[in-house]
Amino acid sequence: MYCTNCRAHIDKCLHFCPICGNPIVHLDSHVVHTPDFTDSRIPQILYAGFWPRFFATVIDWALVAVITSSIALPLEVIIEHFWTALRELPPVEHGEVTYELTGLILQSIFPIALWLYYAFFESSRHQATLGKRWHGLYVTDLQGHRISFVRATIRHFGKVISGLTLGI
């Protein structure tokens, strides 16, 4: 017998799938056993709503923006001073291209910092970013365990791709 939800092989005597907790329909009895949430064998999963997720994201983005600005602004002043000093030297063949490349590097600090922030905190022992912790939210796998850094990275870039399509 197989679970209709996750396709795991299960015993005929079970009323719930041990992998996903899905109620099992026994074809011979035509009875569907509904989950009893007082049963400790079935994990109770509560998903966060839109507003707690939204405000957690606002907090996280604000924190990352403050941190990256405190790094990028002094770095930009140093680089600008460096380029001003270089302009006084005899002309170099690819100087302007390198200057544009430096601007691109400065602009990429925020997305890289955002990725590292989300991936590190969601895969940490706290299982949440600081904004999510503020709202009591946690990131887990289907069994309620902590996710890995790689999975948190894939999750982050999945949110980026979803955001490119306006969340559709």
Of residues 10 and 50, the one with the higher pLDDT is 50
Rounded to whole angstroms, how far apart are CA atoms 139 and 122?
6
pLDDT digits (tens, 9 = 90+) for 21-72: 777 665 544 444 445 545 555 556 678 889 999 999 999 999 999 998 888 8
Tell whether the model's pLDDT for residue 93 goes beyond 60.
no
Q: How confident is the model at residue 148 (pLDDT cuts 50, 70, 90)?
A: very high
SS (H, E, C) the chain: CECCCCCCECCCCCCECCCCCCECEECCCCEECCCCCCCCCCCCCCCCCHHHHHHHHHHHHHHHHHHHHHHHHHHHHHHHHHHHHHHCCCCCCCHHHHHHHHHHHHHCHHHHHHHHHHHHHHCCCCCCCHHHHHCCCCCCCCCCCCCCHHHHHHHHHHHHHHHHCCCC
Of residues 124 and 1, the one with the higher pLDDT is 124
pLDDT (0 to 100) of residue 89: 60
Rounded to whole angstroms, how far apart are CA atoms 134 and 43?
23
Of residues 2 and 165, the one with the higher pLDDT is 165
Bridge partners of residue 23, in order along the sequence: 16
% the chain with pLDDT above 90: 30
pLDDT (0 to 100) of residue 105: 74
Q: To the nearest whole number, what is the mean pLDDT of the chain?
A: 77
Global model pTM greater than 0.85: no
pLDDT (0 to 100) of residue 82: 75
pLDDT (0 to 100) of residue 157: 92
Q: How confident is the model at residue 113 (pLDDT cuts 50, 70, 90)?
A: very high
pLDDT (0 to 100) of residue 46: 75
CA distances from 85 to 78, 79, 80, 100 (A): 11, 10, 9, 16
